[in-house]
Structure 1
């Protein structure tokens, strides 16, 4: 239900994420004629499988999609090897367009942005996971998330993610992983999405996530990846606070973006230029 497809044809190259589970079609990158891409998207969305289309567009590509009824939901600076990505979205149903929690999420965001930034000096021992930790990581994610946009409860999926370049870091206690996060690295675009942040309910007062994010930032800098961003649940005060206090800037909100935690949710974009650390 979730597959990547790379289109290469005369006048168009595009990386397409077909996400049947979250009922969305996402264009992560494209070069060439936007009209040909639009024709492809229209054909793919003729069925009722998809309710939302997202195109990550450069500025000079975005005007075409405005004309086709897309709206700008947010963006990430330096996403495309230093160039900004604009997250252009088109909703195919009224239900997918309308959020039930927008006002509450605005209140959460305003409260988060009133917090002071923090300097984090890690006192935790943080490890970089290998494939042998896939089972423990899957167990953690299965406990924390009833629903998740990707099948992280499956150890084989975790292993495949690692093989694709995703970096997982974790904290353990008595030989058991209690908190983890990852960085999904795009070598072609030179960016990384910080994601898969989870802490067992029995350890959530420990403030582990800030230490894990700092560790991931260090791993990314060693790989010359300077553009870091995340897409956090807009209803989560804690996760949005973590990124704000670590110096990430708010970059917009994606309405009804994916199924996570217990329902379809809006997601906030946060971004940071690691070269300024």
Structure 2
């Protein structure tokens, strides 16, 4: 089932190496790491785009290569501060259809971001209500997590409603924190850790609607941050739906910095979603 969503490959040629994600579900190609001859790599990327009819490419580019990507028609959309062991990565993107490039909600998202940015920082963590319990998830929780994600998200960029996929994520090192009550997982979030470059994406944030009034996501994010610091992972980032006031507010109020918006980045719920990037240096907290 995973390969119906995406396929991670290592592209090795005489003059370059790259870690590439062929993201079929989101009709895009993502380059997470690379070295060597960039023009040769870009030629290979174009062949993948043509073969799979992808409409967007995202490259986590090193700062010194931005000019070369600009020369080849790529544009910067967001800044992953400190991504490469303390050095910044720039999300360089290229679109292959006008429909994918054009966002119908950009002005609405600008307005929402202004409102979020006006909120005061608020790093204090709410207390859990009685009979709610927080803990680090284990593989035995995969079925409960899959049920949660299946209920919260009708459409999601990865198969989070599949317990087998969640178990694989855990076995590969992804951390999940959960909140449960009456034996049911009602809220969860994860940290996808890159141990090569010592960064982590805080993602897969979900709370059942009837439990959202308790600020559970703030508790989960704070817990994941503490867990990351124990592992000396200080670069934390999250990619939030640009139309979600709640999630953008959570990261802003915890001191994350907004560093860009990626147009029609993925499919969530019923449409393509623009996504805001939020970054934080946990060593400063």
Asked whether the two chains share a fold, i.e. TM above 0.5, the reply is yes
Whether 2:167 is the aligned partner of 1:155: answer no
Range moving further from structure 2, 19-28 or 58-67: 58-67
**Match of residue 43 from structure 2:** 39
After the TM superposition, list the runs of 4 or more consecutive aligned residues in structure 1 that deviate by more than 4 angstroms: none
CA distance in 2, matches of 1:152, 1:114: 33
CA distance in 2, matches of 1:18, 1:194: 21
Structure 1 unaligned residues grouped into runs of 5+ = none
Per-residue CA distance 1:111-147 (angstroms, 9 max, x = gap): 0000000022352342110110000000000000010
**Match of residue 273 from structure 1:** 281
Whether 2:248 is the aligned partner of 1:248: answer no
Range moving further from structure 2, 84-93 or 61-70: 61-70
Superposed CA RMSD in Å reads: 0.9
TM-score normalised per structure 2: 0.95
Whether 2:36 is the aligned partner of 1:28: answer no
Whether 2:239 is the aligned partner of 1:231: answer yes
Match of 2:210 among 202, 211, 220: 202
Q: SS where residue 65 of structure 1 aligns?
A: helix
Contact conserved, 1:120 with 1:211, CA < 8 A, in 2? no
Q: How many residues align?
A: 277
Q: How far has the Cα of 1:7 moved from its partner?
A: 1.7
Range moving further from structure 2, 41-50 or 18-27: 41-50
TM-score normalised per structure 1: 0.98
Contact conserved, 1:20 with 1:49, CA < 8 A, in 2? no
Contact conserved, 1:147 with 1:262, CA < 8 A, in 2? yes
Whether 2:142 is the aligned partner of 1:130: answer no
Range moving further from structure 2, 85-94 or 10-19: 10-19
CA distance in 1, matches of 2:178, 2:263: 30
Q: SS where residue 214 of structure 2 aligns?
A: coil
